[in-house]
Chain A
Amino acid sequence: MAFSAFAPSTVSEQAPRRKSRVALLLLLPGILYLLLFFLVPLLSLILTSLQAPTVSGDIGQYRTAFEWQNYSTAIGQYGGQILRSFVYAVLATVFALLFSYPLAYFIGVKARPYPLLQNLALILVIAPFFISFLLRTLAWKQLLSDESAIVTGLKALALLAPDAHVTGTPVAVVFGLTYNFIPFMTLPLYASLERLDLRYLEAGNDLYATPFSTFLRVTIPLSMPGIVSGVLLTFIPAAGDYVNASREFLGGTGTTMIGNVIESNFLVSLNYPAAAAMSVMLMVAILILVTIYVRRSGTEDLL
């Protein structure tokens, strides 16, 4: 699976180390591509984040400078949104993991004797993704609106206060994030659980481990590569997501995430330096969190 590319790998050690012009030539397009479409924009983004407004210029006109206070201003102004983004992303990742693990376990382990069922279940996981996720998120907005059967039903059952709303609340945003990223969690989990050798579970059982203990000490450690890839694939895009939290979709004024702030600064208030500064901060924060996470989960020697 393509997802395992996310996990640290030691394959490079075995690759033959041979200097050859052909190899360099073959690498050239990739290197050029990365230079042109990754490194240059990244530098441009960093430079933009340090720009200062031109004196007596129009709105949206900036000059090259080293305005480091762009960062402190952004943190001061949008600290709440930055923190909220990570809280939402963590919550969505945890919920997606809790939902996906049993699902992936069922498809990858329990359904193993029935390949047809396995394929059918996998298709069901992926099928919604044939429809644009904007449309699906809009559909959820309808489903969770005040007049919808779900909300009126919940109110009728007194599970929801009569004057309560679902859309526009953090609950709806975290729900939307979880829903949208579940396949990104399920597929890598499935890929690693599908390869789980059940004889290890039998060995655990044979060595006095209860089913729960076996799950904790054998199944989970052995599926760690899948958990790591799934968490990364969910957490990274969820932290920067601006669709679910936006007012046009499931969010409200109180659910703004860093992605929405970047969007409005770039497109509405034309404050390019602030938007760029926040983009850089988001990137660095994710990089740090992911590095800590991969180090601590200790999956290097599993692969």
Chain B
Amino acid sequence: MAAMTGSAFAEAGADLKLVGVQKRFPGFTAIENLDLTIPAGSFFALLGPSGCGKTTTLRLVAGLEEVSAGRILIGGKDVTATKAYQRPVNTVFQSYALFPHLSILENVAFGLRRRKMTDALTRAHEALNLVELDHLSARKPAQLSGGQQQRVALARAVVNRPALLLLDEPLGALDLKLRRQMQLELKSIQGEVGLTFLHVTHDQEEAMTMADTVAVMNKGRIEQMGAPAILYELPRTAFVANFLGQSNLFSGLVAGETSNSIAVDIAGSRIVVPKSRAQRHGGEVTIGVRPEKLILTRTAPNANSALNSLGPGRITDVSFSGVSTQFSVEIPSVGAVVVFAQNLQASPMASVGDAVWVSWNVEHGFGLEDDERSAARFSADESTAMIAAHRKDALLAELEDS
């Protein structure tokens, strides 16, 4: 198609493969043994809290950091030993990092010029048209608003047609409305140019709305990976259950089992979970249910094999949020249970102090892989150096946000 003397544009997105990747910094391990395959053309989100290693992963793929061990393959080619400027990868940085001394047009044309494209300016204009900013091409980055800068950063990366586009929390600095617009724009750009997207974020809603596949990362490891709906429906660990939305978790011993379900004893109540939705089928297990799946009743629900119920408990807090109302229910020897109820009636169905039962369809429960003791794994067993490093990262991220 176009005349080019440098390395060619990627025809389509390439797949990314991380094999046993490890990254150690002096004092702590950011990533311990990461294996990951991202299929070509997909929108992949790496989701996790500050300091979980997701940005490090992105920087390793971009070539801005060197792996301590392991291999990185892009489109089947081993790029572990290559430098950042040799990789068919472009990044939309969290800080945008637009060159302040260059015009918007020259910023976008920068990568094309380095690859000696003859029609760099034409292509830069096209990319700016794509993000609807061509009329500002003569300005300097400092003269643009945050949202506009973000779109320029996106154009500057996309114009190179990388095999893989890396997004480092690029929407973090935008307000809600702009963020929605950009999310849509990103999805449509992906549809138009067919790139592979690797998106790093701590915003679970953003990850779920945009990505085909979400990997939840914690402490330098991937906890669980899958389609957003599956991840939400069937979290495998307590970390995922709580990081991706909210969950009510209960622990108890397995007290019985049938061919397709297990029954768990939770403070004297028999709670049934389908075997297909439980990771473990014996011993002490942790089971959970999403707050919006719970039904609040003022009377004990009729014994029903399709329904689990706990109660009675007392409502300790009611907060109204428009679409739904959030109830906190304190159930003796079980603990606090959170219930989201759709506001189907004009007035709240219950108020603080009321005695209520919570129940849910057996099919909505899930059983976790880790038990109560191992669930504490992500809080207490860290070295002081690692805690300090995490604390520092968190503070830095906080500063960045403000």
- In the bound complex, residues from chain A placing their C-beta under 8 Å from that of B83 are 205
Most A-side CB within 10 Å, residue of B100, B101, B110? B101
Interface residues on A, range: 20 to 34
> Is A199 an interface position by the 8 A CB rule?
yes
> Is B99 an interface position by the 8 A CB rule?
yes
Contact across chains for B101 and A207 when beta carbons are under 8 A apart: no
How long is the Cα–Cα vector from A39 to B150 in the complex, in angstroms? Answer: 52
Cross-chain contact of A200 among B89, B99, B114 (Cβ < 8 A): B99
| 0 or 1 for each of A182-209: is its CB under 8 Å from B? (1 = yes) | 0000000000000001011011111111
Contact across chains for B93 and A208 when beta carbons are under 8 A apart: no
Contact across chains for A301 and B140 when beta carbons are under 8 A apart: yes
How long is the Cα–Cα vector from A200 to B96 in the complex, in angstroms? Answer: 9
- Beyond A205-B84, A205-B85, A206-B84, whether A222 also contacts B114 by CB under 8 A is no
How long is the Cα–Cα vector from A222 to B62 in the complex, in angstroms? Answer: 23
The total of chain B residues at the interface (CB under 8 A) is 23
> Is B196 an interface position by the 8 A CB rule?
no
Contact across chains for B93 and A203 when beta carbons are under 8 A apart: yes
- In the bound complex, residues from chain B placing their C-beta under 8 Å from that of A224 are 101
- In the bound complex, residues from chain A placing their C-beta under 8 Å from that of B115 are 208
- In the bound complex, residues from chain A placing their C-beta under 8 Å from that of B110 are 204, 207, 209, 217
Contact across chains for A202 and B114 when beta carbons are under 8 A apart: no
- Beyond A199-B95, A222-B101, whether A206 also contacts B114 by CB under 8 A is no
> Is B42 an interface position by the 8 A CB rule?
no
- In the bound complex, residues from chain B placing their C-beta under 8 Å from that of A207 are 85, 90, 110-111, 114, 156, 160
| Nearest opposing residue in chain A for B94, CB measure | A199
How long is the Cα–Cα vector from A214 to B83 in the complex, in angstroms? Answer: 13
**Would you list which residues of chain A between 215 and 230 have a CB under 8 Å from chain B?**
217-218, 221-222, 224
Q: Which residues from chain B sit less than 8 Å from chain A, CB to CB?
A: 62-64, 83-85, 89-91, 93, 95, 97-101, 110-111, 114-115, 140, 156, 160
Taking A199-B95, A221-B101 as given, write out 8 further A-B residue pairs in contact, using a Cβ cutoff of 8 Å, ordered by the A residue number.
A200-B99, A203-B97, A203-B99, A205-B63, A205-B83, A206-B64, A207-B114, A301-B101
Q: Which residues from chain A sit less than 8 Å from chain B, CB to CB?
A: 197, 199-200, 202-211, 213-214, 217-218, 221-222, 224, 301-302
Q: Name the 7 nearest CB pairs between A and B, nearest first.
A: A207-B111, A203-B97, A205-B84, A208-B114, A221-B101, A199-B97, A209-B114
